[in-house]
Amino acid sequence: MKVKIYHNSRCSKSRQTLEILKKNNCDIEIIEYLKLPPTFQELEDILGKLKYQPRDLMRKGEEVYKKENLSDINLSNSTLIEKMIANPILIERPIVVAGNKAIVGRPPEKALNII
């Protein structure tokens, strides 16, 4: 099966999820999202597949989240998506996309649900 993983090699959960995909003989496209952030449209598509609102995909413990006051409920979804693109460290990881489904690999075994 063809899958994309939005991957951060410094993250143990991301590495574990990638290993699960490899062990299950998936055709993997690895996207190092910190180096090559998703586009606005890609992020919207991922959010739709996850059935998430933008804030649901954000790492709220990151300094930039606090510094930019991204918890402000008056911020639009578009603004939040733009902030994730500008600061990809905000994006929860890993994200696995297979066809019209997506999961966040926390725990990594969740990847088994879509492959």
Q: Which residues are catalytic?
A: 11
The pTM (predicted TM-score) of the whole model is 0.94
The position carrying tokens 């460290």 is: 89
Looking at residue 29, its pLDDT comes to 98
For residue 58, what are the CA distances in angstroms to 28, 100, 107? 24, 21, 16
Which run of H or of E encompasses 29? Answer: strand 27-32
Looking at residue 1, its pLDDT comes to 82
Looking at residue 93, its pLDDT comes to 96
Looking at residue 104, its pLDDT comes to 97
Looking at residue 76, its pLDDT comes to 98
User: Domain coordinates of the chain in residue numbers?
Assistant: 2-113
Task: Please list the pLDDT of the chain residue by residue as tens digits (115 residues).
Answer: 899 999 999 999 999 999 999 999 999 999 999 999 999 999 999 999 999 999 999 999 999 999 999 999 999 999 999 999 999 999 999 999 999 999 999 999 999 999 9
The position carrying tokens 């930039």 is: 64
Output b/e per residue, 77-113; b: 16+ Cβ within 10 A: eeebbebbbebbebbbbbbbbbeeebbbbeebeebee
Alpha carbon of residue 17 to chain centroid: 12
Nearest to 106 by CA among 32, 5, 17, 30: 17
Just give the CATH number of 2-113: 3.40.30.10
